[in-house]
Amino acid sequence: MSTKTPPETSSDAPAIVLENVTCRYGALEVFKQISLGIAPGQVTVLIGPSGSGKTTLLGLMNGMVRPQSGRVLVRGQDLARADLIALRRRIGYVIQEVGLFPHYTVYQNIALVPRLLKWEEARIRNRVEALLGLIRIPADRLNAYPDQLSGGQQQRVGVARALAADPDILLMDEPFGALDPITREQLQDDFLALQRRLHKTVVFVTHDMDEALKLGDRIVLLNQGRIVQAGHPFQFLLQPANDFVRSFVGRHRLLTAIRLEQLQPWLPSVQVAEALPRQEARARQKAPPGWLLAPEQPDSEPVLWQRGRAGLQRVQARPTVLQATDTLESALAVLLSRPGSVLLIRDEPTDQMAAATVADLQGALSQALRELNPPEAPR
């Protein structure tokens, strides 16, 4: 197998493609002529009732399940002609039952794939230690056996093992399904934080809609071997394709989504210029409309100004600043508490700020929905 990415796969090309895939177990037809693309660098959540084929779909993506007809492409490569063993070493895999080797220590479990890839031992040790920090397992647990760890710790080690050789694709089959609610929420939060840094292509199976809304950049709803709807979480809430989606999602879920969704994707494009002295601010009055965060006097508290045709207008002293990783709910709480108030959202990695009003958030939401693909019709 060639380990090079074929030239025609640009970074926006789907990482995984299923083309007209039909899949049977004996007489049972799980999928008939199903097609699906998995976007790179995103979390795609597969959700659906039990037996709808989620695990089978995941298995098709690393060749554990072979289709009767149709093609599966991973990184542009047809699995029918791929060296599956080499391919799987470059795809992380985590399941609900964890599947840690009970006769291997934590270290040996995490080192599994690097050892298969014949890394040098020093490099492996570095990697394992780095991962241990990433998944927040104390280093003194390295020589413990899996049955000496808690369920949550086992699953963290399972995630570390999947990430060990730094694969760009991660397949996760209900990884947090067996954990108690508090541990599950912790692992979800850690997973999100990790994903923000690593930008893996993740295919995540769950049957928990709240989990799907929280983790998914895109949700694919399966029922009886068909894709009922695929799209952004909000699209599921605001534009359900049919009654099945409506009943599966449930009405109260919009609030769940607002509670969980981060501000990041909804940042208004208008940036805030920051901390200019007032004189300079006045000199810039001719600049295009926008926001300005500047003190009235040098050394006084920052004030938010709006730059418009009529010149610079004072809007609000000491505006609330949220992080892009805060939730839509916290933003709405600030905005709805005072009519006409404006919120500043800071994006930590780029250190840029955006100002948002209720109308901005609403606009961003509806624009995003318009830009998203129309719901995929059931076939």
Partner 1 sequence: MSMLGRWIEKLLASLPWLLAVTAAGLLVKLAPFLWAYRDLALLLSWQHLRLIGLSMTIAVPLGVLIGGLTYGRALPGALALGSASLLMTIPSIALFGAMIPLLAPLGAGVGTIPAVLALILYSQLPIIRNTRTGLQSVPAPVLRTALALGMSPWQVFWRVRFPLAWPFILSGIRIAMVSAVGIASVAAYIGAGGLGRWIFGGIRRTYPDMVLAGALLISLLAVALDRTLFTLQRFFQRYREQP
Q: Interface residues with ligand ATP (CB under 6 A)?
A: 25, 28, 30, 48, 50-56, 207
Cβ atoms within 10 Å of 172's Cβ, excluding its own: 25
Q: Which one among 103, 118, 251, 309 touches partner 1, defined by CB under 8 A?
A: 103
Piece of 47-55, 159-167, 298-306, 334-342 that binds Mg ion (CB under 5 A): 47-55
Q: Which does 207 bind (CB under 5 to 8 A by kind): Mg ion, ligand ATP, partner 1, none?
A: ligand ATP
Q: CA 127 to CA 145: how far, in whole Å?
A: 19
Residue with tokens 């076939």: 379
DSSP string, 160-210: HHHHTT--SEEEEESTTTTS-HHHHHHHHHHHHHHHHHH--EEEEEES-HH
Nearer to ligand ATP, 58 or 165 (CB): 58
Nearer to Mg ion, 30 or 128 (CB): 30
Please give the order of strands across the beta sheet that includes 77-78: 28-38, 16-25, 69-74, 77-78
Residue 115's identity, in one-letter code, is: R
**Cβ of residue 54: shortest distance to ligand ATP, in angstroms?**
4
**Cβ of residue 79: shortest distance to partner 1, in angstroms?**
14
The site that binds partner 1 (CB under 8 A) totals a number of residues, namely 28
Cβ atoms within 10 Å of 52's Cβ, excluding its own: 20
| CA distances from residue 134 to 128, 137, 161, 198 in whole angstroms, order as listed | 10, 8, 12, 11
Q: Which does 56 bind (CB under 5 to 8 A by kind): Mg ion, ligand ATP, partner 1, none?
A: ligand ATP
Q: Which does 284 bind (CB under 5 to 8 A by kind): ligand ATP, partner 1, Mg ion, none?
A: none
Q: Binding of Mg ion at residue 56 (CB under 5 A)?
A: no
**Cβ of residue 191: shortest distance to partner 1, in angstroms?**
18
**Cβ of residue 84: shortest distance to partner 1, in angstroms?**
8
Site for partner 1 in 236-265 (CB under 8 A): none
Q: Binding of partner 1 at residue 86 (CB under 8 A)?
A: yes
Q: Which does 64 bind (CB under 5 to 8 A by kind): partner 1, Mg ion, ligand ATP, none?
A: partner 1
CA 265 to chain CA centroid, Å, is 11
Q: CA 99 to CA 168: how far, in whole Å?
A: 21
Q: Binding of Mg ion at residue 55 (CB under 5 A)?
A: yes
Piece of 99-107, 219-227, 249-257, 269-277 that binds partner 1 (CB under 8 A): 99-107
Report yes or no: 187 and 134 within 8 Å, Cβ to Cβ.
Answer: no
Q: Binding of partner 1 at residue 189 (CB under 8 A)?
A: no
Q: Which one among 54, 75, 88, 346 touches partner 1, defined by CB under 8 A?
A: 88
Please give the order of strands across the beta sheet that includes 302-308: 272-274, 290-295, 302-308, 311-317
Nearer to ligand ATP, 205 or 361 (CB): 205
Q: Binding of partner 1 at residue 62 (CB under 8 A)?
A: yes
Nearer to partner 1, 92 or 268 (CB): 92
Q: Binding of partner 1 at residue 118 (CB under 8 A)?
A: no
Residue with tokens 């809609």: 209
Q: Binding of partner 1 at residue 112 (CB under 8 A)?
A: yes
Strands (E), the chain: 16-25, 28-38, 43-47, 69-74, 77-78, 91-95, 169-173, 201-206, 218-223, 226-231, 272-274, 290-295, 302-308, 311-317, 321-323, 343-347, 352-356
Residue 86's identity, in one-letter code, is: A
Residues that bind partner 1 (CB under 8 A): 62, 64, 85-93, 95, 97-103, 112-113, 116, 145, 147, 158, 161-162, 171
